Structure 1
Amino acid sequence: MNDISVIIINYNSSHFTINCIKSITSNTSNTITYELIIIDNASNIKDFTHLKLSLDELNLPNLKLVRSKFNTGFGGGNMFGVQFANGKYYAFINNDTVLKNNCLSIMYQFLENNKNAAICSPQQYNEKDEVQKSFDHFLSLKRELLGRKLLEKLNPIEYPKRQKIYAAPLKVQSVPGSFLVVKAEAFHSVGGFDTNIFLYYEETDLCFRISKKLKNSHCYLVPEGKFTHFKGQSTPQNIEIKKELKISLMYVLRKNSGYVTYEILRWLLTFKYLLKSIFKPKYFKLFILFLKGAPISASLKQQQLIAK
């Protein structure tokens, strides 16, 4: 058994994947054992070929590359990777990241030394080396209506400030999926990622379910670890992706907070995007989406094709 199984998804961004792997191998000390599991999520054949040839050149004995014939999304891709993993801990790392220090060892030691910690994440930086928000509050109607900043002012103990630099580990509600390390036992106990979700909110949902099922199993930001996240290199930013974000939001809210909460937010957002679409017609698609209930059946997941 390895100490950590690192699972990375590649989707038409092999250059980032290769740089991510190189940063892991160059920054991780030999005080821990780890394996690298790379899942190609049905990239075009040119990108996959480039990835395979580049990884062959690296010739890493602890690396396994597996190609999926269809894009299973973030949660599905990682769950596919878990099937090949044997680590005590799972590290789900976005391919558009690079480690700034010995992140994996720092996360491993933190989880080993803190038995009430089930999930942790390092401090996130952007490509300009600026500190970024590295945790979030659980998705709830209260958060969506009042906003994160107001919650942080009203109850700073339960909702610590996200826009603040922390020196010591901090207990939080949820950490980002861009770099998340979780105890395999805790991950298995809740069934891992919900593969109904194609993109967005998978990590929020995972952290919420672990906190509810496993008492005294908490989530932490560990700022001693540091990584750079280039953000969104595999995901184009357009109205279809924004629709996907809203579909996931409504699905996770209904799943974890109930039907009444879902209906309240659904109709508030329906009217919000009706008004917005008057001035920005592109938002009409979001109005229609919420009018229909933002069903999971409208997800991009339903449009996947089998790759050659």
Structure 2
Amino acid sequence: MSTQRISGANEVVDAATNSDSLPALSILIVAYNSRHFIRDCIAAIPEACADVEHEVIMIDNGDDGTAALVEELYGNVRILPSRGNIGFGSACNMLAAEARGRRLVLLNPDTIAFPGSIAALHQAAQKFPEFAAIGGASVDRTGHDPKPMLSALPRFSTVWRGMIGMTSNDMNILSDRDGSVFEVEAVNGGFCIIDAAVWRDLGGFDESFFLYGEDVDLSLRIAHLGKSIGYVPSARVFHDVGSGDFFSPASHRFKTIAAAHYANKHFSARRALAYKLVLWLHFLVRYAVGGILGFAVSRYRSISRANRPVAFNPNCWWHGFKGKGADPRRSFSSKLN
């Protein structure tokens, strides 16, 4: 398939549009200072797709030369011109506007898809059309220790359990199953397949979510259409979590901003207020407990450090992405995706 660089966000110039068939899948990659791991990500795609026709479209929100490297090494990748760090949701919407596949695959640049993994998502989507979006599992480099690469809808019970160190086992139980599709609440935008027609009907990601939360918001809107969200354990990727600091205060802050933004959008004013108050208490408890246990275990020190900004300055996240200083383009770490 012959391809070339795109000259504008709304202009499709892929020469393959003149061919007698369109790809089944459009694989969308939003890079952000991803030069060190983008090669492995793209190199793994052909085997991950097996014999499924696909195209790969990428946009670079960063400034480390990722786009130039991909253009040099992979002539079959369509690259949209960068508009700077416009946010994950906005970048995905730009990519989807250029996509020709019947289904969209969102793939983080710091993932390596295992052979047949993307094909497994595609096969499940074909077999079970009632699932408008389907996610897969994150595994270690050897393909073991699977963990569902999913998200959960924000709710009070989740915050309460997290406050006392408890998490739901529902997703981990799903990791032990294979060979089918299981209904879940929300996909993770780092690795999932979405029906392109449903995406268009919903207008894609809500761009008011600059970073984080846009996948959960989309999942809820899919559910409101009467469609289901699925999980396929056999679709597996290695996610290089080392490409960003999981306990980074900046990362935690913007995830919190996204949670507040979601609550402000989808909850009643009274419920949103209650949810954010519980969330605030959660951060205070995690900060205090992490500080105490951190004398013995360094991991807890990191947890305490990550929770300090949101615990002692709730105004930085309370109003979601509409709040002052909530724009990651002004303060976000260049390491974070």
Q: Do they fold alike, i.e. is TM over 0.5?
A: yes
Q: Secondary structure at the match of 1:193?
A: coil
- How do 1:170-181 residues align onto structure 2 when only pairs under 5 Å count? 170-181=182-193
Where does residue 209 of structure 2 map in the other structure?
Answer: 197
Structure 2 distance, partners of 1:239, 1:147, is 17
Q: Say whether the 8 Å CA contact 1:135–1:162 is kept in structure 2.
A: no
Correspondence 1:14 to 2:29 = no
Aligned pairs, number: 290
Shift of 1:277: 5.9
Q: Say whether the 8 Å CA contact 1:11–1:234 is kept in structure 2.
A: no
Where does residue 72 of structure 2 map in the other structure?
Answer: 56
Structure 1 distance, partners of 2:160, 2:176, is 26
CA RMSD of aligned residues (A): 2.8
**Cα shift readout 1:208-265 (whole Å, capped 9, x = no counterpart):** 11101x11x1111112222211126256752122111100011112212222222112
Letter in 2 for 1:19: D
Where does residue 26 of structure 2 map in the other structure?
Answer: 5
**Cα shift readout 1:174-203 (whole Å, capped 9, x = no counterpart):** 122211100011111122111111222221
Correspondence 1:105 to 2:125 = no
Q: Secondary structure at the match of 2:57?
A: strand
- Give the TM-score, by structure 1 length: 0.83
Where does residue 133 of structure 1 map in the other structure?
Answer: 148
- Give the TM-score, by structure 2 length: 0.76
- How do 1:66-215 residues align onto structure 2 when only pairs under 5 Å count? 66-127=80-141, 129-146=144-161, 160-163=170-173, 164-167=175-178, 168-212=180-224, 214-215=225-226
Letter in 1 for 2:101: G
CA separation of 1:302 and 1:208: change in aligned 2, threshold 3 A: same
Structure 2 distance, partners of 1:227, 1:89, is 19
Structure 1 distance, partners of 2:211, 2:42, is 23
Where does residue 54 of structure 2 map in the other structure?
Answer: 34
Where does residue 17 of structure 2 map in the other structure?
Answer: none
Q: Secondary structure at the match of 2:209?
A: coil
Q: 2:311 aligns with which of 287, 290, 299?
A: 287
Q: Say whether the 8 Å CA contact 2:48–2:119 is kept in structure 1.
A: no
Letter in 1 for 2:177: Y
**Cα shift readout 1:60-109 (whole Å, capped 9, x = no counterpart):** 2xx21123232122212211211211111010000111111212222222
**Cα shift readout 1:105-160 (whole Å, capped 9, x = no counterpart):** 2222211121211011222213353212333432222332345997958xxxxxx4
Where does residue 225 of structure 1 map in the other structure?
Answer: 235
Q: Say whether the 8 Å CA contact 2:249–2:305 is kept in structure 1.
A: no
